[in-house]
Amino acid sequence: MGQGIAQVALLAGHPVRVHDAAPGRAEEAVEAITARLGRLVDKGRLAAADRDAARDRLETVDDLAGLAGCGLVIEAVLERLDVKQALFRALEEVVDADCLLATNTSSLSVTGIGGALRVPGRLVGLHFFNPAPVLPLVEVVSGVATHESAATCAYDTALAWGKTPVRCADTPGFIVNRIARPFYAEAFRLYEEQAADPATIDAVLKESGGFKMGPFELTDLIGQDVNEAVTRSVWEAFFHDPKFTPSPAQRRLVAAGRLGRKSGHGWYDHGPDAAPPEPHTAEPCAAPGTVGVHGRPDGPLGTVVDLLKEAGVALTEDRTPGVSTPFIGLPGGARLTLTQGAAATEELDGPHIRLDLALDYRTCTRVALAPGADVADEDVRAAIGLFQRLGKKVSVVADTPGMIVARTVAMLIDFALDAEARGVADRADIDTAMKRGVNYPRGPLEWCDEVGVRWVWQTLSSLHDAYPSGRYGPSVPLAHRATLAYKQGLS
Catalytic residues: 106, 127, 139, 177
- CA-to-CA distance for 181 and 25, rounded, in angstroms? 34
Neighbours of 240 (CB within 10 A): 10
For the chain, give the longest Cα–Cα distance: 80
Between the CA of residue 440 and those of 205, 228, 240, 348, 447, what are the distances in Å? Answer: 11, 20, 27, 36, 11
Between the CA of residue 88 and those of 60, 98, 128, 173, what are the distances in Å? Answer: 19, 14, 19, 21
- CA-to-CA distance for 43 and 265, rounded, in angstroms? 32
Between the CA of residue 332 and those of 283, 301, 378, 382, 459, what are the distances in Å? Answer: 20, 20, 7, 9, 27
- CA-to-CA distance for 344 and 183, rounded, in angstroms? 23
Q: Under DSSP, is residue 164 helix (H, G, I), strand (E, B) or coil?
A: strand
- Axis-axis angle for helices 453-466, 444-451 (nearest 10): 100
8 Å CB contact between 427 and 224: no
